Amino acid sequence: MDLHIRLEGRGDLAARIYRQILDAILDGLLRPGERLPPTRELAARLDVSRNTVAAAYDRLTAEGFLEGRAGAGTFVRGEPLRRRRRKRAAGGVRPRSRWESLAAVPNDRSEFTFDFRLGMPDATLFPLETWRRLISRELRPASLRSAGYGEPAGHPALRVAIARSAGLSRGIRAEPDDVIVTQGAQQAFDLIGRVLIEPGDCVAVEEPGYPPARILFESLGARVVGIPVDDEGLDVSAIPKNARLVYVTPSHQFPLGTPMSLARRTDLLAWAERNGEAVIVEDDYDSEFRFSDRPLEPLQGLDRTGRVIYVGSFSKTLLPLLRVGFMVAPASLQRALRTAKQLSDWHGEPTTQAALARFIDEGLLARHIRKATREYAARHEKILTALNNDFSEWLTPVHSAAGLHLCARLKPGRDLDLQQRLANARQADVAVESLAAYCTSTPAQQGVVIGYGAIPIDRVEEGLRRLHTHLCATQQAV
């Protein structure tokens, strides 16, 4: 790699070369075993005498940072040196105060044999060969001929495909022009927030709820209020009158799993109508996987006054790393949302979007969802049966008929340190999340949220057996 050395100003040139190479080694930029340029070459590049460079190399060699190998050159010494932490300059630049205290969204990348965490579909179900074929097709010279900047609303073919498939499978009323493709649902929330929220505005979210959405609205300066969720979904009567935006997951409440009842949906839409400026964000992130119960009409399909923005994601149906989501927004917000999208990243990634359009058009997405639904239904059933049979003294499952996770509440009177017990289960290679992690109000609701996207069905039984050992053991045994 080219070594960039600055020699402006006055002073001892060899000392400055020495210092900058030393810094690069200590900062880990030059790694053990890496070869330095020959003294002659570096001297010519820096326009200094060869002796000057040699003096710097000699000093670093004497101090043990470099070693010369006969006939091969000069190398950073093989033993890794402890990396030095860069000193933070006192009084360095700081982010805005709200960013200093903003909680990061947890991103735990540790691996577990019995992994019941949320957020991951089964990557082994992903149709990799087909996807590779579709991506290769988009990378042919003919496809790249018009490779300038694209439309901020996303690849036209994908918008047509989404409008059609969301209409057919979810009852969403959308023309292609209503669809804006985003980098995952998260970018849709960001664009919506930027276009609609002034600092200090009230945003209502579900409690318990989805942390990345809540934190995002906080980052925009909103006053975020958690609204309780009961067996029918969001308690509409608890939404503050001045809420500008209400974020909900009606198909499969996150994390409880309950669908919002039709009565509540109607109440929520009526509430929004009474509050002329209010917008509802309907996050439908994983209800493509449905095991029983008929899906209820989406809020977007029931809305007659243009107050609902429907947000979908391919993170569960395909993979989160593709970063493709979309929103179906009312015409009154289209121009602002497209401008926000353009100012954010212009238009996302067209190769993936074009490949996905074909994947949907050729019926491959629908086929993949059918196949994955059979697999997830079996896991859902197995976990539910175990919860009802083996955990029934401790946990009550929350009714859920779709998605990639289910929730079970701790029974009243079961006074145990759930967090500690889940930590113990992790020691036994079983990762299960706590319902409390999705609560912001106190006392936090107690229970577990069990994901089945990432765990193969043949590991479910043993995973739950181990969970049982740690969760339901008597106090002394833990």
Ligand X SMILES: Cc1ncc(COP(=O)(O)O)c(C=O)c1O
- Give the number of residues written for the chain: 478
Q: Which residues inside 81-100 make contact with ligand X, applying CB under 6 A? A: none
Q: Which stretch binds ligand X (CB under 6 A): 24-32, 68-76, 313-321, 426-434?
A: 313-321
Q: Which is nearer to ligand X, 46 or 120 (CB)?
A: 120
Q: How far is CA 148 from CA 136, 216, 350, in A?
A: 19, 31, 10
Q: Which stretch binds ligand X (CB under 6 A): 107-115, 178-186, 334-342, 408-416?
A: 178-186
Q: Is 131 in the site for ligand X (CB under 6 A)?
A: no
Q: Is 325 in the site for ligand X (CB under 6 A)?
A: yes
Q: Which stretch binds ligand X (CB under 6 A): 75-83, 183-191, 387-395, 470-478?
A: 183-191
Q: Which is nearer to ligand X, 36 or 365 (CB)?
A: 365
Q: Which residues inside 403-422 make contact with ligand X, applying CB under 6 A? A: none
Task: Compute how many residues bind ligand X; rule: CB under 6 A.
Answer: 13
Residue 55: CB atoms within 10 A of its CB come to 18
What is the x/- site pattern for ligand X, positions 259-298, by CB under 6 A? ------------------------x-x-------------
Q: Which residues inside 196-215 make contact with ligand X, applying CB under 6 A? A: 210
Q: Which is nearer to ligand X, 254 or 394 (CB)?
A: 254
Contact by Cβ (8 Å): 158, 303 = no
Q: Is 320 in the site for ligand X (CB under 6 A)?
A: yes
Provide the β-strand partners of residue 228. Answer: 207
Q: How far is the CB of 62 from ligand X (least distance, A)?
A: 53
Q: Is 313 in the site for ligand X (CB under 6 A)?
A: yes
Q: How far is the CB of 145 from ligand X (least distance, A)?
A: 31
Task: Give the residue, chosen from 74, 315, 434, 445, that forms a contact with ligand X under the rule CB under 6 A.
Answer: 315
Task: Give the residue, chosen from 39, 165, 186, 251, that forms a contact with ligand X under the rule CB under 6 A.
Answer: 186
Task: Give the residue, chosen from 131, 254, 310, 376, that forms a contact with ligand X under the rule CB under 6 A.
Answer: 254
Contact by Cβ (8 Å): 233, 261 = yes
Q: And the tokens for 383? A: 């976990």
Q: How far is the CB of 445 from ligand X (least distance, A)?
A: 17
Q: Which is nearer to ligand X, 119 or 152 (CB)?
A: 119
Which of 280, 303, 256 lies closest to 409, judged by CA? 256
Helical packing angle, 39-46 and 50-62, nearest 10° = 130
Q: Is 352 in the site for ligand X (CB under 6 A)?
A: no
Q: Which is nearer to ligand X, 190 or 303 (CB)?
A: 190
Q: Which is nearer to ligand X, 249 or 446 (CB)?
A: 249
Q: Is 119 in the site for ligand X (CB under 6 A)?
A: yes
The per-residue b/e assignment along 108-141, b for 16 or more CB within 10 angstroms, e otherwise, is: eeeebebbbbbbbbbeeebbeebbeebbeebeee
What's the one-letter identity of residue 112? F
Query: In which order are the strands placed within the sheet that holds 405-410?
Result: 395-397, 405-410, 447-451, 433-434
Q: Which is nearer to ligand X, 117 or 358 (CB)?
A: 117
Q: Which is nearer to ligand X, 267 or 284 (CB)?
A: 284
Interatomic CA distance for residues 364 and 114, integer angstroms: 30
Contact by Cβ (8 Å): 222, 199 = yes
Q: Which stretch binds ligand X (CB under 6 A): 48-56, 127-135, 180-188, 460-468?
A: 180-188
Q: How far is the CB of 189 from ligand X (least distance, A)?
A: 8
Q: How far is the CB of 425 from ligand X (least distance, A)?
A: 22
- Please give the residue ranges that form the binding site for ligand X (CB under 6 A): 119, 184-186, 210, 249, 254, 283, 285, 313, 315, 320, 325
